């Protein structure tokens, strides 16, 4: 399993602004989406390309690079994953979207699934999971279990912030899944929140607290 921590100054600057106490819903949402775009740029670096010959502007054949026909499905995890989706789709506008819904029980920290609508041909697609937070890892592992059960063989994840504890759990459960994160933070607190983290990303994106 590879953990790609994206140290690009734009990513780090925007993430730093997101950590501020009292940030507005508008700003938090905008940064979520913008970092989503930047992580997508990095995560798609590995996509295979092939050379095609086309008619160039001078009317003579020229060789150009095309992304090889590997199909993608984006998998936003409700709710907070929706906050990154626009930004991800700005670079992958044709990608099909498979929505899954899970929430974390506040007492047990267990992931509780409540919705899934996954593309029919998921066995032929690379799944790109989108969620701002990878905390205990329970939500992500349950999502990957679900996608694999439906036949998906190629899975990556994009997160704004991950915890070392969650990454360790993911590595043990699904070592074949690579992730792209803006930051691997310090630790989880006793309530399962990432420190320093962002607080409750879903509530900040939707303004529910
Ligand atoms: O790694 P874990 O410990 O499982 O926690 C991470 C999950 O918690 C948050 O969702 P939450 O349960 O708050 O749902 P929400 O998006 O509806 O707010 C977050 O967006 C992740 O999906
Ligand atoms: O720090 C955390 C942990 C789980 N979910 C969040 O939104 N934030
Ligand atoms: Mg939440």
Q: How far is the CA of 133 from the centre of ligand 1 (A)?
A: 6
* Residue 59 resides in a domain: no
pTM given for the model = 0.96
**Domain hosting residue 25, numbered range:** 3-46+71-204
* Residue 121 resides in a domain: yes
Q: Which of 77, 79, 143, 197 to mutate to test the pocket of ligand 2 (most atoms within 8 A of CB)?
A: 197
Note the ipTM here: 0.98
* Residue 127 resides in a domain: yes
- Residues 155-204 have pLDDT tens digits of 999 999 999 999 999 999 999 999 999 999 999 999 999 999 999 999 99
Indicate whether residue 162 lines ligand 2 (CB < 6 A). Answer: no
* Residue 66 resides in a domain: no
Taking only the tens of pLDDT, the chain with its 209 residues reads: 999 999 999 999 999 999 999 999 999 999 999 999 999 999 999 899 999 999 999 999 999 999 987 799 999 999 999 999 999 999 999 999 999 999 999 999 999 999 999 999 999 999 999 999 999 999 999 999 999 999 999 999 999 999 999 999 999 999 999 999 999 999 999 999 999 999 999 999 999 98
Beta bridge partners of 63: 53
Report every protein residue that has its C-beta within 5 angstroms of ion ligand 3. 200, 202
What is the spatial distance between Cα 133 and Cα 135, in angstroms, rounded to a whole number? 6
Are the CB atoms for 34 and 181 separated by under 8 Å?
no
Q: What local confidence, expressed as pLDDT, does residue 51 receive?
A: 97
* Residue 148 resides in a domain: yes
* Residue 55 resides in a domain: no
Q: Which of 134, 201, 207 to mutate to test the pocket of ligand 2 (most atoms within 8 A of CB)?
A: 201
Q: What local confidence, expressed as pLDDT, does residue 209 receive?
A: 87
Contacts by 9-18 with C-beta closer than 8 Å and gap 24+?
10/38, 11/35, 11/38, 11/39, 11/182, 12/182, 12/183, 14/38, 15/160, 15/161, 15/182, 15/183, 18/160, 18/198
- Could you give the 3-state DSSP secondary structure of residue 66? strand
Residues with a CB atom less than 6 Å from ligand 1: 77-80, 103-104, 109, 111, 131-140, 166, 192, 200-202
Nearest ligand, CA 131: 1
25: CB partners within 8 A, 6+ apart: 204, 205, 206, 207
* Residue 61 resides in a domain: no
The CATH number that applies at residue 17 is 3.40.50.2020
* Residue 86 resides in a domain: yes
Q: Which residue's alpha carbon is at the smallest distance from atom 6 of ligand 2?
A: 200
Total count of domains within the chain: 1
């Amino acid at each position: 399993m590879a953990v790609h921590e994206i140290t690009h100054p734009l990513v780090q600057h925007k993430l730093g602004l997101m950590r501020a106490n009292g940030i507005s819903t508008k700003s938090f949402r905008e940064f979520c989406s913008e970092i989503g775009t930047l992580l997508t740029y990095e995560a798609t670096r590995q996509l295979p390309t092939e050379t095609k010959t086309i008619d160039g502007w001078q009317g003579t054949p020229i060789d150009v690079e095309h992304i090889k026909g590997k199909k993608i499905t984006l998998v936003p995890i409700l709710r907070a994953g929706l906050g990154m989706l626009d930004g991800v789709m700005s670079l992958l506008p044709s990608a099909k979207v498979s929505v899954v819904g899970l929430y974390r029980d506040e007492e047990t920290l267990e992931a509780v699934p409540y919705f899934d609508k996954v593309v029919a041909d998921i066995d032929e697609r690379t799944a790109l999971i989108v969620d701002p937070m990878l905390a205990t890892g329970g939500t992500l592992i349950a999502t990957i279990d679900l996608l694999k059960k439906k036949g998906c063989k190629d899975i990556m994840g994009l997160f704004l912030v991950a915890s070392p504890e969650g990454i360790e759990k993911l590595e043990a459960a699904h070592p074949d899944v690579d992730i792209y994160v803006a930051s691997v933070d310090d630790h989880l607190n006793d309530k399962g929140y990432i420190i320093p983290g962002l607080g409750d990303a879903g509530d900040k994106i939707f303004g529910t607290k």
